[in-house]
Amino acid sequence: MKRAELVFVPTPAVGHLVSAIEFSKRLLDGCDRFSITILVMKPPFEPSATLNSNTSAQPLAASHGHIKIIDLPTVNRPLELLQQSREKYITVYIEGYKNHVREAIASHVLPSCSVSGLVVDMFCTTMIDVANELKVPSFLFFTSGAGFLGFLLHLSSLYDRVGTVFKESDSESVVPSYVNPVPASVIPSFAFSSEGYISFANHARRFKETKGIIVNTFVELESHAVGSLSDGETPPVYTVGPLIGEHPAQQSDHHSKFDKIMTWLDDQPLKSVVLLCFGSFGSFDEAQLREIAIGLEQSRQRFLWSVRKDPPKGEFVVPAEHTSHEEFLPQGFLERTSGVGILCGWAPQVEILAHRAVGCFVSHCGWNSIMESLWHGVPVVTWPLYAEQQINAFQMVRDLGLAVELRLDYRKNGGDNFVVADEIERAVRCVMDGDDELRKRVQEMSGVCRRAVGDGGSSSASFESLIEVMLASFN
């Protein structure tokens, strides 16, 4: 049988790659007429060996014979642009891959079949040019939520109208994709700099050139945001989430760590453990880590804490694990909390959230983490760090009432970026000892999102509509 060949170009970051592979698997499960090629770029901030198909993508895609993974060569990193804007740097870096994407399609795809469409990530809109050259449709795969998608589209139209960036002195902004006015304190940092703002505004303009926008969300969660995107200008939006995928690290060299963590959880009472995990780039300095430890001890809760070391100042690398926790912990902390909590570096977040013992998740509010917490019915305490995490936290607390606020406005670099122990204790206790209504709402939303991806659910219906559009291009 002749298959419709789709080429995926994800942003070279683990969270984006995992979501793209999970979406690919769901697409193949829903229709046997597709085959998929995923082009994996080297990461922009890391040595070239840290993200490749052998460690990140191949194990996750192995169960599907119609997913092909191709590693792209290394390109020069325009590191001088980092001083201007991280967003501009990533944009220019990915633009440097355009010829490699053309070459990979010409060498590895076109000799055996024709391309039916390109699915590009939010930072990869330059690859829409490749789709146009091939005379095939392009689709945007958006790994964050519909609220943030609406924010970026609003950003581009706002810049076209008034030509200015956001100001920290602004009080609130009306953004159509959010129910409540958005305070300046939770607007993503890039929107306050001209280079970052313009980079995202340019991406968002190109979103509108695509045949459709695929979003990892479900309409029952973000009904207001999804509704705001039916404006006659935005391409059709396909809500296909939650897309819950394994983290690739579990597939490699972490089996003993995985077993230790899960064995410890097996011995804990129902919903008694606080998980603290802040994503692959989440880290704190020693003073903040010490304050977290004091807050946890004061809260008298069981805990599982994923701890990572701040990279050297000015280096954009994945934070390393601590070789010794004693170097930042209060004296005697490990002895006093023995049996009550454990510290680790890498953590299998999805599997931990699925465990019956976990009752609370102190999170950076990356969108994948939000989807995972809702899927497993675990209430979130918000501690955003970077990117769009502040506005995600705002949406979860203020618009949706599905999380407890520790901070909404914490920024890893800049602002009031120190959280004291009493704040941590208060937020954790609020979930673990108090807010039964919150836990009930989160549990109800867990049921809703599982129904959304089931037979006849809203996300399944959206998937079916998307498949029809993709196959129409093929036919």
Q: What angle do CA 40, 46, 48 make, to 5 degrees?
A: 55
Q: What is the pLDDT of residue 387?
A: 93
User: 356 φ, ψ to 5°?
Assistant: -60, -25
| CATH label, 4-241+455-474, candidates 3.30.390.50, 1.20.1560.10, 3.40.50.2000, 1.20.1730.10 | 3.40.50.2000
Q: What is the pLDDT of residue 47?
A: 54
Q: Of these residues, 16, 322, 364, 376, which one is catalytic?
A: 16
- Tell me if 4-241+455-474 shares its fold with 254-449: yes
Is 455 noted as a catalytic residue in this protein?
no
Token pair, residue 405, equals 């606020």
Q: What angle do CA 242, 243, 247 make, to 5 degrees?
A: 130
Q: What is the pLDDT of residue 51?
A: 47
**Separation of alpha carbons 399 and 189, rounded Å:** 20
Domain boundaries in the chain?
4-241+455-474, 254-449
Q: What is the pLDDT of residue 174?
A: 94
| CATH label, 254-449, candidates 1.10.287.70, 3.40.50.2000, 3.20.20.10, 3.40.47.40 | 3.40.50.2000
Q: Tokens 């920290």 — which residue?
A: 168
Nearest to 255 by CA among 348, 352, 320, 357: 348
Do the Cβ atoms of 396 and 308 come closer than 8 Å?
A: no
Q: Of these residues, 29, 32, 108, 121, which one is catalytic?
A: 121
Instruction: State whether the Cα torsion 391-393-399-405 is positive or negative.
Output: negative
Residue 148 CB-density burial (10 A; 0-12 exposed, 13-18 middle, 19+ buried): buried
Token pair, residue 189, equals 């940092």
First CA to last CA across the chain, in angstroms? Answer: 13
Number of C-beta neighbours around residue 417 at 10 A = 15
Is 376 noted as a catalytic residue in this protein?
no
Q: What is the pLDDT of residue 382?
A: 98
Distance of CA 77 to CAs 10, 22, 80, 373, Å? 18, 28, 9, 35
Pairing mode, if any, of strands 67-71 and 34-40? Answer: parallel
Token pair, residue 4, equals 């419709």
Q: What is the pLDDT of residue 475?
A: 60
Q: Please give the chain's pLDDT, 475 residues, in tens.
A: 688 999 999 999 988 999 999 999 999 999 999 999 999 999 998 654 444 444 455 666 656 778 999 999 999 999 898 888 889 999 999 999 999 999 999 999 999 888 999 999 999 999 999 999 999 999 999 999 999 999 999 998 888 887 777 888 888 999 999 999 999 999 999 999 999 999 999 999 999 999 999 999 999 999 999 999 999 999 999 999 999 976 554 444 578 889 999 999 999 999 999 999 999 889 999 999 999 999 999 999 999 999 998 887 767 777 888 888 888 999 999 999 999 999 999 899 999 999 999 999 999 999 999 999 999 999 999 999 999 999 999 999 999 999 999 999 999 876 668 999 999 999 999 999 986 899 999 999 999 999 999 999 999 999 999 999 999 876 6
Q: What is the pLDDT of residue 285?
A: 92
Non-local (6+) Cβ contacts of 132 within 8 A are 138
Nearest to 199 by CA among 309, 70, 87: 87
